[in-house]
Amino acid sequence: MNLKSLAEALGLSQTTVSRALNGYPEVSEATRKRVEEAAVRFGYRPNSRAKGLATGRAMLIGQVIPTSTQHEMVNPVFGDFVAGASQNLAQHGYDMLLTRVPGDDEGKVYREFRARGAVDGVIIQAPDVKDDRIALLNRIGLPFIVHGRSTGVTEPYSWVDVNNTQAFRRATEFLLQLGHRRIALINGLERMDFAFRRRKGYIQALENAGLSADPQLMCTDEMTEQFGYMKTRRMLAFEDPPTAFLCASMISAVGIRRALQEAQLVMGRDVSVIIHDDDLSYLRNGEEIPIFTATRSSVRHAGEVLADALMQLISDPDHPPINQLLEAQLVVGSSTGPAPLKAARLPS
């Protein structure tokens, strides 16, 4: 059933039927009723592509599946983020278009999006420090918003980000207050902006306390369970091991826990751990009492906020860039406690 046959069945012109269904005022209420009823009865729905061609809008938001180039690892945050974002996109009639990057030229995808008119806007995930996608998108004039920020990019752009620096500064301060002096940082890849900022916050807190960061206690890699496990084992064997770990990911923290328990150490007593918790729906940090003390910020909520902002940007092309900084909560769980008098140490 298309517009033409619906119009014929009603004995009306396509114009009138189209207007009736799209809420234009030049149609009498009686006619509109009649049209709407018929549309439901015949199960008429306007063809997406025809409508898009006529209106010039795709009603789609593009997104590249965020896989690390190194191990083709899919960002574990992706599912929840997408769930949040598309929920709010859907409220505006938008769907999400997902694509893989052939080779490693993500810029090519965006140029294609633009040239083909395939999407009306784009979401950028996991920006690096000095991410060049931002300049590209500004240049080609495709509406976009970044989930995260990019240190070093000076031109204006829209973003929704968690205050990572602040979160990790607070978390570090919290550990310092508990008497910890040797605090390890198990960080994500520091070419990524969020990890860069977290380290910054960590170092700031240490320096404010008159301490300097020990390079041996800072490590950075993809946030796997294995990574947390290996680094914890190694650091616990140091002459002067850390008494606390600050960890950028719930998943790596599971590895930390494994290493600690293997070493017969009790988390929160022998060694303290604070994590950043994206509040992933499939990996919740405990219901009432969190397992881990954490800086918490729901990535799903970030998706919702970001989607709303993008909808604004698209509906008003002259809208100035939207910047929204979300603060992380510091929730106290059972993985932290006062620094032990004598640091636990593993034989190397």
Partner DNA sequence: TGGGCCTCCCAAAGCGCTTTAAATTTTCTC
Partner DNA sequence: GAGAAAATTTAAAGCGCTTTGGGAGGCCCA
**SS3 call for 102:** coil
CA 106, chain centre distance (Å): 18
Dist CA 132 CA 9 (whole Å): 54
CA dihedral 332, 281, 265, 188 (to 10 degrees): -90
Task: Name which of residues 143 to 202 contact a copy of itself (CB under 8 A).
Answer: none
Phi-psi region of 320 (alpha: psi -120 to 50; beta: other; left: phi over 0): beta
Specify the DSSP class assigned to residue 128. Answer: B
Task: Name which of residues 289 to 308 contact a copy of itself (CB under 8 A).
Answer: 291
The answer to whether the CB of 211 falls within 8 A of the CB of 179 is no
Work out which of 3, 17, 27, 80 binds a copy of itself, going by CB under 8 A. 80
Which token pair is 161?
């980000």
4 binds, among DNA, a copy of itself, none (CB under 5 to 8 A by kind): DNA
The answer to whether the CB of 272 falls within 8 A of the CB of 335 is yes
118 binds, among a copy of itself, DNA, none (CB under 5 to 8 A by kind): a copy of itself
Nearest approach in angstroms of CB 102 to a copy of itself is 6
Nearest approach in angstroms of CB 98 to a copy of itself is 4
Q: Residues 12-51: x/- map of binding to a copy of itself (CB under 8 A)?
A: -------------------------------xxxxxxxx-
Nearest approach in angstroms of CB 289 to a copy of itself is 11
Specify the DSSP class assigned to residue 135. Answer: H
Q: Binding of a copy of itself at residue 245 (CB under 8 A)?
A: no
Instruction: List contacts with DNA (CB under 7 A).
Output: 2-4, 11-16, 18-19, 21-22, 26-31, 44-47, 50-51, 53-56
Residue closer to DNA by CB (options 13, 329) is: 13
258 binds, among DNA, a copy of itself, none (CB under 5 to 8 A by kind): a copy of itself
Indicate the residue type of 158: S
Work out which of 36, 106, 214, 225 binds a copy of itself, going by CB under 8 A. 225
Q: Binding of a copy of itself at residue 65 (CB under 8 A)?
A: yes
3-state secondary structure 24-89: CCCCCHHHHHHHHHHHHHHCCCCCHHHHHHHHCCCCEEEEECCECCCCCCECCCHHHHHHHHHHHH
Which residue is associated with the tokens 């592509």? Answer: 49
Specify the DSSP class assigned to residue 122. Answer: E
Which token pair is 13?
């012109």
Q: Binding of a copy of itself at residue 52 (CB under 8 A)?
A: yes
Work out which of 26, 29, 239, 287 binds a copy of itself, going by CB under 8 A. 287
Give, in order, the Cα–Cα distances in Å from 21 to each of 3, 39, 161, 249: 10, 8, 39, 49
Nearest approach in angstroms of CB 30 to DNA is 7
Residue closer to a copy of itself by CB (options 173, 304) is: 304
Q: Binding of a copy of itself at residue 71 (CB under 8 A)?
A: yes
Pairing of strands 244-247, 183-187: parallel
Q: Binding of a copy of itself at residue 82 (CB under 8 A)?
A: yes
The residues of the shown chain that bind a copy of itself, judged by CB under 8 A, are 1, 43-50, 52-53, 58, 60, 65, 67, 71-76, 78-80, 82-83, 86-87, 90, 95-100, 102, 111-112, 115-118, 223-226, 251, 254, 257-258, 261, 280-284, 286-287, 291
